[in-house]
Amino acid sequence: MRKITEERRAQMKPLEDMIDYHFKRMYLLNRALTHSSYANQHSLSYVEHNERLEFLGDSVLSLVISEYIFKKYRNKPEGKLSKIRANIVCEDSLHRKAKKLDLGRYMLFGKGEEMTGGRERTSILADALEALIAAIYIDGGLEMAGKFVLGEFSDTIDRMVRRKYNSDYKSKLQEYIQKEQSLSVQYRVTGEEGPDHDKTFYVDVTVGDRYAGKGCGRSKKEAEQAAAKSALESLGASE
């Protein structure tokens, strides 16, 4: 276990204040914010970076979100609950929350990762948020981890449900096509623009051999959902 310097403690303190949780074991917070590239550059053990914490944090996050929506939305079946949870624990959602907390500012990177935009990379920030959740869980228990998770996500969940952001347009399009006729649905990326850490993807969707719609988004999955929604509207099958 590395000793945390006073300088490093001071660097991380604004984050503790922001999340309203102060660690008893600061090495856990430091580990959650240490990327594997930093550990590799400094010849540190695999336990000294955040990948193991990320693994645990994914499960803690899923448990907290699952319990929250299970208790709050008692009239929703398993399939709806699964879609709500999937939209919250996905990489894009985690990335937005990590950006809000400015996690990249507090992370330790190797020089190569730093130079290639790691501090802004979607996957890295999403993973760091999961690692942070695990660090809180180990340091303070499930109650404190749950308090942090719901403090960040409960409003998003409720807003998503109210505005039906949990709609899975790809599944709806597939179900509609299979119901009406036996045709295949294909998605094709037609373009992308922007730097690696902030790309926009463009996708076309075809039903059978006919163009049906297009969409764009911050990820390929998001663009495909937008394209499917467009297709449903063009087919007169939208809600």
Q: What is the pLDDT of residues 126-162, one digit of tens each?
A: 999 999 999 999 999 999 999 999 999 998 888 877 7
Token output for 3? 């000793």
Give me the catalytic one of 54, 127, 130, 139: 130
H helices of the chain, in order, are 6-19, 26-32, 36-41, 51-72, 78-89, 91-101, 103-106, 111-115, 122-140, 142-162, 169-180, 220-234
Give the Cα separation of 206 and 211 in Å (integer): 4
Phi, psi for 102 (deg, rounded to 5): 60, 45
One CATH from 1.10.1520.10, 3.90.1170.50, 3.40.50.980, 3.20.20.100 for 6-162: 1.10.1520.10
User: What residues does CATH 1.10.1520.10 cover in the chain?
Assistant: 6-162
Residue 239 reports pLDDT greater than 60:
no
Active-site annotation holds for 58: yes
Active-site annotation holds for 196: no
CATH 3.30.379.10 for the 169-234 domain, yes or no:
no
How far is the CA of 167 from the CAs of 123, 189, 211, in angstroms?
A: 23, 21, 22
Residue 9 reports pLDDT greater than 60:
yes
Residue 28 reports pLDDT greater than 50:
yes
Token output for 48? 């000294």
Q: For residue range 163-221, what is the model confidence (pLDDT) as tens digits?
A: 654 467 888 888 888 776 678 899 999 999 887 777 889 999 999 888 999 999 888 88
Contact 98, 128 (CB under 8 A): yes
Range from 17-26, 42-51, 59-68, 194-203 carrying the lowest mean pLDDT: 194-203
Q: For residue range 86-120, what is the model confidence (pLDDT) as tens digits?
A: 888 888 889 989 999 999 999 999 999 988 888 98
DSSP state of 4: P
Give me the catalytic one of 54, 58, 113, 139: 58
Residue of higher predicted confidence among 65 and 155: 65
Count the residues in the chain: 239
In this prediction, residue 180 carries a pLDDT of 64
